[in-house]
A and B are shown apart, each in its own frame.
Chain A
């Protein structure tokens, strides 16, 4: 079974803090993705990575950065958390060229 894990299920941070969200997959997938999901807005792509050290902006990259130093790990960084970044964050991975994408359990981030 493909497994995508995320470092935290629930996280509470204060405005201005630097926040790290970690994602690990165990299926040797080249592609990894970070989304946020908000009621009524659906899934929105923040960043994705084709392969190690390769990244591309998604639809809403402002206020976020990413790091992919190893194939299995993709990190999302909120440089200075703001209240409008309170959301459910979802990581996903898939094989390059393929369609089947697998999601992690999500991290519900609250910024106070």
Chain B
């Protein structure tokens, strides 16, 4: 079983839709959870950062962590064509290795 699983998509939605992106993980020691947005031919950009459980909201974006289910989600409300990108989840345990573990990314297209 991979440490982090992420559906690669591709996911195609109409403008204005609510988008749900998800990752599951197996390591219960993960405490730091991140979502990155990567536009084509660019470096990943940190979008959301959550420590431990709970929700975090930033504008149209909401990150949720459910540690009991080992499941994290990123919701995008009122999606825009400019949201078209690949979204990567990443996680890290507290203490131990400094390395992040990444999902392979979900490619999202928002159609006008």
Say if A and B assemble together.
yes
Count of interface residues, chain B, beta-carbon cutoff 8 Å = 24
Does B34 have its Cβ within 8 Å of any Cβ on chain A? yes
CB neighbours (8 Å) of A101 from chain B are: 34, 46, 90, 100
Pick the contact of B100: A42, A99, A104, A105 (CB < 8 A): A99
Note all chain A residues with C-beta closer than 8 A to B44. 43, 90, 103
The reply to whether B103 and A31 contact each other, CB–CB distance below 8 Å, is: no
- The answer to whether B98 and A31 touch across the interface, beta carbons within 8 angstroms, is yes
Question: Closest 8 interchain pairs by CB?
Answer: A99-B32, A42-B104, A103-B43, A106-B43, A105-B43, A99-B92, A103-B44, A43-B102
Which residues in B have some Cβ–Cβ distance to A below 8 Å? Answer: 31-34, 36, 41-46, 49, 51, 88, 90, 92, 95, 98-100, 102-105
Between-chain CB contacts (< 8 Å), 10 pairs: A42-B103, A43-B44, A48-B99, A50-B98, A90-B43, A99-B51, A100-B49, A101-B46, A102-B46, A108-B41
